[in-house]
Amino acid sequence: MANIKGLASIVSELKVERTNLANQLRHVDAALTVLGKMNGGTSYTRPGRTLSALARRRISIAQRKRWALARNRSKPVTTKATALAKRTPKISPAGKKRIAAAQRARWAKLKAAKKGAA
């Protein structure tokens, strides 16, 4: 009889220990879930759906049509009047020479001032 009572107490202690371990495991799972979601990921990954080759082809064709439509809509309609209005003015060669000469004069003045100070 003493053996049976001893075994019963051991079994009850093991059951208590099992419930404690199950609770701890649940806490660890919850912590992993929270940490997994912190870096943008998820702790549960859904199985991916597989598409047939025909379905993938249909989707790619439809997407190419959408891209072509978007490209055609984004192109502005240019007429001769709008092209002339948007044209940037050009600098004549004489104007470029004038600007270059003025810049050279500024640099020469700066270098002369630097030599005089040294």
Mean of the per-residue pLDDT values for the chain?
84
Cβ atoms of residues 43 and 33 within 8 Å: yes
Q: Quick check: 12 pLDDT over 70? A: yes
Instruction: Write down the domain spans for the chain.
Output: 1-41
Mean pLDDT of 21-36: 88
Q: What would the two tokens of residue 38 be?
A: 């912190």
Question: What is the rounded end-to-end Cα distance, in angstroms, of the chain?
Answer: 113
pLDDT tens digits, 69-80: 888 887 665 666
Mean pLDDT of 41-56: 79
* CA pair distance 28, 30, nearest whole angstrom: 5
Cβ atoms of residues 36 and 43 within 8 Å: yes
Mean pLDDT of 20-28: 93
pLDDT attached to residue 52: 92
* CA pair distance 104, 97, nearest whole angstrom: 10
Q: How confident is the model at residue 116 (pLDDT cuts 50, 70, 90)?
A: confident
